[in-house]
Structure 1
């Protein structure tokens, strides 16, 4: 009956059951990215919720044809951020998507062939794909970063609540992607900017350098790895701006990145765009996103005053492979009821645990000066086995307080080596 009702309502959109006005879905917030549960053709998966993507993308390490039963495919070439070439993808129709109680019975997707396009190593949890516009166009979507849930409301009956502490922001759309107008204070000058709203980016703010507009940094910056796009690694400058103003909300000393022009050729085709506002800014608000009425509502949350920090170690880690670990636990021998003493003795389990490897190392950073190298496998940090941490917990340590020491044990080509260094701000 449920499927029959859906067929009667829509075959190309996400819809909720008739008796539900909204549905609430919990998410994980990993390195400022929203990771939601998505079911495709009956297979439960984890997707990044990305306002900057038009159609869902599925990564090929799933062996998508067999696992997801993807049919009706056509070959396409796609391109995103990064310096790599375009990559092949299969466009597929008639897929059943389910997010909470919301269902789409005829969803298009792109399945990427290249197994190297995989964001799981960077986040430390399985990431199977990305979804954005096709969900936001069908609902009024609340994103509660503080409590880590989204609510999908039916647009027809949604009523806005009175909120004195909220700000209403008008949206503009280009290629089905949402933009807002903001103001940057840089070099003592207030500069109006148009920014893509990018929940699929973990940084604070990306700005496209433009000396004519005053959007540049020549003095106080450092060159760094900015992240991975669909076309490979992105590098550029990192710095600070004095202020970011969105309507009446003002954030101070905000992290800003200026990506290399070679990595953002596609993004710069839209000449009115000056950059992106991403997860490390957006998470400081709870949002109501209404694509149909082209509006965004912002309300400050408990994360608003959180300090903007940079990685003070220079290390970028990824989950690379597994380690066989022997774990001891306490076993029993004997039976009290049979008048036999219970003897406790050690027993052992063998389990696979994640390995973390250094994949990028900032030039001149404390970690590089200490002697660490790209490719080193991290075994122990501050006298604790690395597999006892989650990846985002390790990353927090690398963003620690100025002057803190990090003791690290690594494996380099089969040899174990110890290093010690103090974290320090890369901006002098």
Structure 2
């Protein structure tokens, strides 16, 4: 063999070895796929928000692993993950109900792109003692009074509890509906019955009424408002609605929002109150018999109110502190893309009725969307008197204690309601002081 051929062969071997080394060195890095895991409640509005993020993820070579869960297990499962330091999720659904419960395990989100263009009031539950926020808004969750436009004209929609009873009974008597009003009442569904009437009667769970400053509530001894006259009035309203006026089913004390929504979408009820995010289902021909026949209006008022009450909170996204820094950075980039994607947020509103997180999107929608204008009138233009939860770690325990007291009272005799409220004072007070 000539020297030339030997040299050529040696060079070829060296080249092959070099390529092999290069492949072995590069392939693992090239093969490594950036991945983010997101855990959330299975719900149309959250899925729509995830879709916006997924669009960004696909464009940027990120695999978004979606882990939807039932509401009934979500908080317990994720709390266990957070407290153990496990990084099972890179992003989680972060609700105001447990904003303070989780605050010490959550990363701060002030540096996420687009946070300067979100409404600050609904973020109160997510601030730490240094004024840093632990959530990025996914959508606004607002309590909306829905009515059947094929049954009542806008000017006929009830504006008071008394009108809700009379209009419901008329529609029932005419054979147009089985029920006047239907809404969730079981634990974790209290907003859609007891609570909207509580706030709509200028009432609350603790004294001082409508106070959310924990220092002031603590100074007042976390005294429940169960024995206040305004409480007796809204509990009696529901007792009468179930058993005397019969505008709502007696079984409603065990209904979740899903069961109530199913009755409304089946055309068996004239009115309901639930988050506006359910408008998409109500108006879907594939899911609802009343599609195209649903309107939004302000909440009917109790006898103590002089103007409608509304609540405006958010569902958010959070990042656990235990997530490695590189994944936290990537997750924040994706959340920033969601907050600044106006096209995606408009599509989310169109599909679900969930008010988008950016005020820039609000401005775009308010110009030419009649339904959004109706929602604005029903909620954003009304009296946002207080938050729809209390923001301290024991709040879930309070919610459970309150719910047990109220459902027990509603299953008893009407004349025993004051006695049931008095008996429940200690349970709610102890729940407020649990863990302190």
More strand by share: 1
Do the structures match in fold with TM over 0.5? no
Give the TM-score of the pair, scaled to structure 1.
0.27
More helix by share: 2
Give the TM-score of the pair, scaled to structure 2.
0.27
Could you say which structure has the greater relative contact order, defined with CA pairs below 8 angstroms and 6 or more residues apart?
2
Q: Which has the larger radius of gyration?
A: 2
